[in-house]
Amino acid sequence: MTQTLLAPAACLTNPLHTRPALDRLSSQQPTGFELPVTSQTSPFPHLFTPLKVGRQELPNRILMGSMHTGLEEQGEEGLARLAAFYAERARGGCSLMVTGGFSPNPEGRLGAEGGFLVDADASHHQQVSDAVHAHGSRILLQLLHAGRYGYQPDIVAPSPIRAPINKTTPREMDETDIQRTIADYARAAQIAQAAGYDGVELMGSEGYLINQFTAPRTNKRDDRWGGSFENRARFPVQVIKAVRAATDPQFIIMYRLSVLDIVEDGSPFEEVAALAKLAENAGADILNSGIGWHEARIPTIAQAVPRAGWSWATERLMGKVEIPLIATNRINTPETAEQVIADGHADMVSMARPFLADANFAGKAARGTPEEINTCIACNQACLDHYFKGKDATCLVNPRACRETMLTWKPADTARKVAIVGAGVAGLSCAVTAAERGHDVTLFEAATQIGGQFLLARHIPGKEEFNETLRYFRNRADAFGVSLMLNTRAEAATLADFDDVVMATGVAPRVPDIAGVDHPCVMTYEELLSGAREPGKRVAVIGAGGVGVDVAVHLVERGLRSHLDPAEFRSTWGVAREPEDHAPSHDVVLLQRSTGKMGAGPGKTTGWVHRLVLLRANAEMIADVSYRRIDDEGLHISVGNEDRLIKCDSIVLCAGQVSVNALADSMKADDRPVHVIGGASFAGELDAQRAIEEGTLLGSRL
Ligand code: NAP
Ligand code: SF4
């Protein structure tokens, strides 16, 4: 996809309005950041203490970890977009980053189109390294051989055991395959060095090929590459040695060690620690942490994981090697990152998704303005879920991520008076983008707070992070002089004086046409989540879409435990112990009319977490339902040909939404031009990603 998504700002006509703070344009388009910040001047002194890695000295301890974007698989065009993506992060103050995965040979590709590095002429990669070096930063290329996790026919592995998340059984590697693959790693590292990369990250975790050699689960060999720990560790050790021998001494070798496999027959801690030492001795300069294989059934990066919920797994290795250790997973703020290092859990922190959410993360941390950071909310919706659906990754809270060359905007030629009605995320993103470009924006909101549906969603376990998005928007709106009119229901007359009117009036819960739906036991999800109504003990949830699943999870977990506490997370999910089951706080029956799989919700990489929570809480899930009526006995349904009564104290309606657009309709009827965005334009399949993207796009065009 090469076309420009947006035309440059239109030539506008009203010169009367002044522009606020255009020098700060824009939070999404970095204007450059001067490093270094020292530990004396930074509010995050541990984070901004330099770190020696091999023969290099890094100015701080922030790593932008590897994030596969899908662009790795799109040849030169993809690399050009990656160059812009990384350059923007380098300009935003990130001093070390790792690319998405490239295989050292064709059989190690993630998919049939997967990127690999075998051609001695990799000069097209030079644009990536040059773009990063231009801002004084460094970049490592990740070498990732997928082994049995490849979604293509020619996959190989130490033993011919199919992964539970793959349909293809791998071919067992013979001695020649193994020797050739080690040589392929060395050659790929040489090519990366020639293309200007500052080093490589060898992906040894998450259940990919190297990890498949080290764990008894996937290595059933009885030759010198399997059996004893020494034999299983031989492959990573030989790979590191070969890469070290093939590259210059200052070329950084980062080894991503699986500090916790979280699968049956994974490596015990003693072997993990021993492998760390072997990797160091073989020539690794720094060890990154990998947590959990992709087939693990404990969340490792989803919203269910508290911030820094896995850094203890890296901390166990501190002192066991001389080289620096990097902690990772669900570290999404400078405060959390600082704490991880201050607590001695690691020497450095890796953050991948937070750099999709905000290219200027490191610069804002260095400047001491963390409140300006657009925080990753760990939803996976536009990054990992996109990748696994074959779409380019981007970010729910930052639609420019991975579209840096396509989604650009400039200061408006002439400031216009813009009214935006509705301060949900569609209205907010439109308001801040338009205001950053210099427009004079007034944002009307009938409620007492900004946020719309986010105000409700933040009550769902794990979605507390949505508060950060609202903090970010509030801050941007203040910085760029948006006039925020809370408690103000805009009328057509109020909007008469504006050059542009944007309707972002959002959605209201759909009330389905079921006999007795006005019974006192019935409430909408909005009434439940806002706290306006209290549910009884036994609750029927009508509708099992994203909101129905969220509400069901909210009901079973309500008030039971803190979702922010790593220790509680470990006991709930049985990390390094048996899981502790709590009696659910409500007995939930989740219902849908269609016949598909229930309880997973919309997220490909997160839906299983919700389903597992509901199954463990003994929530009943009933599909293929016809709703007959609601009365004092409860909810009467038919399932197939059978009538059933769901005895319940409360019924929560999660049957989708309808647009709220009466004001837009009346203005259109009077022939007054309005822009309608977000749920007000189309309620079906509304999600926050579409709302923020539509708002941002319109704000950049006004
Ligand atoms: P939704 O996904 O459209 O689900 C609403 C459900 O209600 C439908 O699955 C439908 O299932 C049922 N329904 C629709 N009309 C009905 C009627 N007249 N009577 C009874 N049942 C009816 O809507 P949503 O759950 O409100 O979610 C809204 C949007 O937000 C969606 O795009 C969703 O993906 C997104 N979202 C995302 C997340 C996330 O974590 N990524 C979380 C929440 C919401 P049946 O017809 O089968 O009964
Ligand atoms: Fe983070 Fe969600 Fe953006 Fe992914 S899409 S980077 S998880 S906020």
CA distance 265 to 54: 33
Name the residues annotated as catalytic. Answer: 208
State pLDDT tens for residues 438-486: 999 999 999 999 999 999 999 988 889 999 999 999 999 999 999 999 9
Residues 222, 358 within the same domain: yes
Domain region containing 528: 511-655
What is the rounded average pLDDT for all residues in the chain? Answer: 90
Number of CB atoms found within 10 A of residue 640's CB = 9
Q: Is 291 in the pocket of ligand 2 (CB under 6 A)?
A: no
CB-count exposure of residue 256 (10 Å: 0-12, 13-18, 19+)? buried
Q: Is 365 in the pocket of ligand 2 (CB under 6 A)?
A: no
Please tell me whether residues 55 and 122 are part of one structural domain. Answer: yes
Cβ of 383 less than 6 Å from ligand 2: yes
Q: Is the CB of 359 under 6 A from ligand 2?
A: no
Give residue 592 CA to ligand 1 midpoint distance, Å. 10
Considering every ligand atom, which ligand is closest to the CA of 67? 2
Q: Is 380 in the pocket of ligand 2 (CB under 6 A)?
A: yes
Comparing CA positions, the residue from 354, 584, 563, 561 lying closest to residue 458 is 563
Residue whose CA lies nearest to ligand 2 atom number 1: 376
Residues 239 and 304 in one domain: yes
Query: Which amino acid is present at 446?
Result: A
The answer to whether the CB of 550 is under 6 A from ligand 1 is: yes
Determine which residue's CA is closest to atom 26 belonging to ligand 1. Answer: 656
Nearest alpha carbon, ligand 1 atom 7: 655
Examine the domain organization and report whether 321 and 457 are in the same domain.
Answer: no
Do 427 and 372 fall within a single domain?
no
383 and 440 in a single domain? The answer is no
Atom of ligand 2 nearest to the CA of 381: 5
Instruction: Judge contact between 635 and 540, C-beta under 8 A.
Output: yes
Ligand 1 centroid to 567 CA: how many Å?
33
Q: Which segments of the chain have a pLDDT < 70?
A: 1-40, 120-121, 561, 576-581, 599-602, 685-686
202 lines ligand 1 (CB under 6 A): no
In a domain, 11, yes or no: no
Does the Cβ of 678 fall within 6 Å of ligand 1?
A: no
Å from CA of 385 to ligand 2 middle = 10
**Distance (Å) from CA 277 to ligand 2 centroid:** 34
Tell whether 366 is covered by a domain: yes
What is the model's pLDDT at position 11?
27
Q: Give the Å distances, CA to CA, from 618 to 37, 417, 650, 684.
A: 52, 54, 18, 30
Q: Give the nearest ligand 2 atom to 356 CA.
A: 6
| pTM for the model | 0.90
- Are residue 617 and residue 583 in the same domain, yes or no? yes
Nearest to 573 by CA among 617, 613, 608: 613
Q: Give per-residue pLDDT as tens, 270-290.
A: 999 999 999 999 999 999 999
Statement to judge: residues 84 and 60 lie in one domain: yes
In 3D, which of 347, 341, 343 has the Cα closest to residue 325? 347
Q: Is the CB of 67 under 6 A from ligand 2?
A: no
Q: What is the 3-state secondary structure (H, E, C) of 461-502?
A: CCHHHHHHHHHHHHHHHHHCCCEEECCCCCCCHHHCCCCEEE
Question: Do the Cβ atoms of 181 and 105 come closer than 8 Å?
Answer: yes
Tell me what pLDDT residue 120 has.
67
Q: What is the pLDDT of residue 19?
A: 35
Tell me, yes or no, whether 411 lies in a domain. Answer: no
696 touches ligand 2 (CB under 6 Å):
no
Q: Which atom of ligand 1 is nearest to the CA of 594?
A: 47
Specify whether the CB–CB gap between 255 and 279 falls below 8 A: yes
The residue whose CA is least distant from atom 43 of ligand 1 is 546
Which residues are paired to 51 by β-bridges? 58
Which atom belonging to ligand 1 lies closest to the Cα atom of 548? Answer: 25
Most informative mutation of 377, 389, 513, 547 for ligand 1 (most atoms within 8 A of CB): 547
Q: Classify 128 as helix, strand or coil.
A: helix
Residue in the structure block whose two tokens are 């974007």: 69
Centre of ligand 1 from the C-alpha of residue 341, in Å: 42
CA of 388 to the centre of ligand 2 (A): 14
**Residue 572: its pLDDT value, please?**
78
The predicted pLDDT at position 684 comes to 74
Decide if 136 is inside a domain: yes
If you write DSSP's letter for every residue of 590-627 in order, what string do you get?
Answer: EE-SS-S--S--S-TTTHHHHHHHHHHTT-EEE-SEEE
Atom of ligand 1 nearest to the CA of 509: 26
What pLDDT, on a 0 to 100 scale, did the predictor assign at position 9? 33
> Residues 321, 451: one domain?
no
Q: Looking at the structure, do residues 182 and 325 belong to the same domain, yes or no?
A: yes
CA of residue 241 to ligand 2 center, whole Å: 36
**Judgement on whether residues 646 and 669 belong to the same structural domain of the protein:** no
Residue nearest to atom 8 of ligand 2 (CA): 376
The answer as to whether 20 is a domain residue is no
Q: Of 369, 388, 407, at which residue does a domain stop? A: 388
Is 492 contained in some domain?
A: yes
Residue 403: inside a domain, yes or no?
no
Q: What H or E segment, with its residue span, contains residue 76?
A: helix 75-91
Ligand 1 atom closest to 625 (CA): 48
Distance from residue 356's CA to the centre of ligand 2 (Å) = 7
Looking at residue 285, its pLDDT comes to 98
From atom 3 of ligand 2, which residue's Cα is the shortest distance away? 395
**CA–CA distances in Å: residue 537 to residues 540, 588, 640, 649:** 10, 8, 27, 6
Calculate the CA 8 to chain-centre distance.
29
Structural domains in the chain (count): 3
- Do both 588 and 670 map to the same domain? no
Contact at 8 Å (CB) between 352 and 99?
A: no
Atom of ligand 2 at shortest range from CA of 380: 7
CB of 687 shorter than 6 A to ligand 1: yes
Residue 189 lies in a domain: yes
CA nearest to 594, candidates 557, 551, 625, 628: 625
The CATH number that applies at residue 640 is: 3.50.50.60
Q: How far apart are the first and last CA of the chain?
A: 24
Which CATH number does the domain housing residue 490 bear? 3.40.50.720
Q: Is 612 exposed, middle or buried (0-12, 13-18, 19+ CB in 10 A)?
A: middle
> In CATH, what number is assigned to the domain containing residue 377?
3.20.20.70
Contacts of residue 246, defined as CB under 8 A and 6 or more positions apart, other chains included, come to 186, 187, 189, 190
Mutate to test the pocket of ligand 2, among 380, 472, 473 (most ligand atoms within 8 A of CB): 380
